[in-house]
Amino acid sequence: MCPQKLRASFYIDGFNLYHAIDDLGRPHLKWVDLWQLSESLINPREEELQAVYWCTAEHHRHSDKRQRHRVYRKALESVGVSPLCGHFVDEELKCRAECGQIYQKDTEKQGDINVALQLIRDGYDNAFDRCYLVSADSDQAATARVFAELFPDKELVAVAPPGRRHSKHILKYTNQTRTIYEETVERSLFQREVLAGGRFVVKRPARYDPPRGWIRPPKKVRN
């Protein structure tokens, strides 16, 4: 009789991951299938993916960003990813230069809080055996600490976005680590047209088209 697989869930700080990918300077990597990406990070021989939560927010002013966000959200929902949405606010800041002018900055709110709340809630609901925290934000060290105190029989895996180091403060409370590499993202992209049950869902925004001559890397074979 085969041993029962561990139930795995992912909790993704959407903007922490987004800015890490954005810094790579390869816009087509933003069209990443987060369910497929999550599956590539677990061990399929001992784990089964149960849920992927994407903590994000829809831009309140820039219509082009808002439209791309909605298209991407539909693509993710079609493969089973659950969005948890916060909001943006206009934050007043003062220029540090001599001018001292006041300007407004678009600031995303609730993303890191939604990650923490959903992870702890699912722990209480016994929804997983092993959870993956996708963030390099040291603010999530509090989440990791509380998790370790409340659920000593469950495992927490710290996942660093591409090009980011693990937060040493989070690592104090984790059982394992994973790193998302650039090639891992590239292997996990949606197709140009996203289908669900054979039906059209959305088409990739032109801004996320891969460069001419791009070839999808082959999937990594596990030994």
3-state secondary structure 20-31: HHHCCCCHHHHC
Q: What digits encode the pLDDT tens for the residues 160-204?
A: 999 999 999 999 999 999 999 999 999 999 999 999 999 999 999
Angle between helices 141-150 and 111-124 (to 10 degrees): 10
The model's pLDDT over 12-70, given as tens digits with 9 standing for 90+, comes to 999 899 999 999 999 999 999 999 999 999 999 999 999 999 988 777 666 788 899 89
Q: What is the mean pLDDT of the chain?
A: 89
Residue for token pair 């060290």: 141
Domains of the chain: 6-208 (3.40.50.1010)
Question: For residue 2, what pLDDT is reported?
Answer: 65
Q: Model's pTM, two decimal places?
A: 0.89
What is the reported pLDDT for 125? Answer: 98
